[in-house]
A and B are shown apart, each in its own frame.
Chain A
């Protein structure tokens, strides 16, 4: 392995950015491909697939055998709001492999009693996100219904290019939210990325069912990363 490739790979992994180490198993030469780098031909298709799935493996391309070792950051879910939906979502997300954190400055809501074994921040999103910034391997679901708490986090999620941004509330509530986010400087394209009403449309009624819908939508967003842009271009 090329020492420079190892350094680059580790730097990307520390920064929670996806990278693939491509090794030619014939001559041992290797290189790092970052997400968004253009790779031509059959190898390019295999690289794109590995970025989506996170699965490593060998591929035959251009008459050679390459090993693609995909290093994807661990996706995580940040939930704004220590509410009933979050109580159901916390254990589900953990089982599905999406570590979850809850942020809610209302100390009556964000209590360890209501959220055992959950990383809980009884603080304003402004403070928590400054410490632990959002990134493109983070999903954000805003479920407080309170603009004072949700809006900042939603704008931050759009700016950080979170792979999923969802906001609880009816279409009417969302229309008002859109106006506020525009006033905060969000672009129309950014706002179009918000899933609102939140969750896949499975007719969810109870808080637990809404949690299933949110988690399913998060997984869908994660596994189809990069596909929306291609669909729009086609």
Chain B
């Protein structure tokens, strides 16, 4: 249970994204917008990604982050937001592995 009353500046994805932006980096923000079944991270969770593929935060507790990061790099290039879906119903998504049996929808957008 993470009940800290103050933001964890060193680990908070949105704070990190703001810092990257100030450093002049290109940044994408991925957000869990929907979950079904037993999804590991709640709706609203973030993964932030820079153009080199560095990332902080999580959208699934490690299951699909790799796939989200590579999509995010495309989003940074194109500037066009994408909606990604991962879950057991989707063969490819199963390969990247939400082994918990849940499904998640992740919105990936470029910062700025």
What's the least CB distance linking B105 to chain A, in Å? 9
Contact A28–B81 (Cβ < 8 Å): yes
Contact A69–B3 (Cβ < 8 Å): no
Residues of A within 8 A of B (CB): 1-3, 6-7, 9-10, 13-14, 16, 23, 25, 28, 55-58, 67, 69-70, 73-74, 76, 94, 97-99
Which single residue of chain B is at the shortest CB-CB distance from A27? B81
- The contact size tier of chain B is 20 to 34
Once A and B bind, how many residue pairs between them come within 8 Å at the CB atom? 60
Q: Known contacts A1-B29, A6-B14: does B5 contact A99 (CB below 8 Å)? A: yes
Contact B3–A3 (Cβ < 8 Å): no
Contact A9–B81 (Cβ < 8 Å): no
Which single residue of chain B is at the shortest CB-CB distance from A68? B44
Taking CB atoms, residues of chain B closer than 8 Å to A58 are: 33-34
Docked Cα-Cα span, A204 to B97, in Å, equals: 50
Contact A57–B43 (Cβ < 8 Å): yes
Contact A6–B111 (Cβ < 8 Å): yes
Contact B4–A3 (Cβ < 8 Å): no
Q: List 28 A-B contacts (CB under 8 A).
A: A1-B109, A1-B110, A1-B111, A1-B112, A6-B17, A6-B29, A6-B111, A9-B14, A10-B14, A10-B15, A10-B18, A13-B7, A13-B14, A14-B7, A16-B5, A23-B31, A25-B33, A56-B43, A56-B44, A57-B34, A67-B31, A74-B4, A74-B5, A76-B5, A97-B1, A97-B3, A98-B3, A99-B5
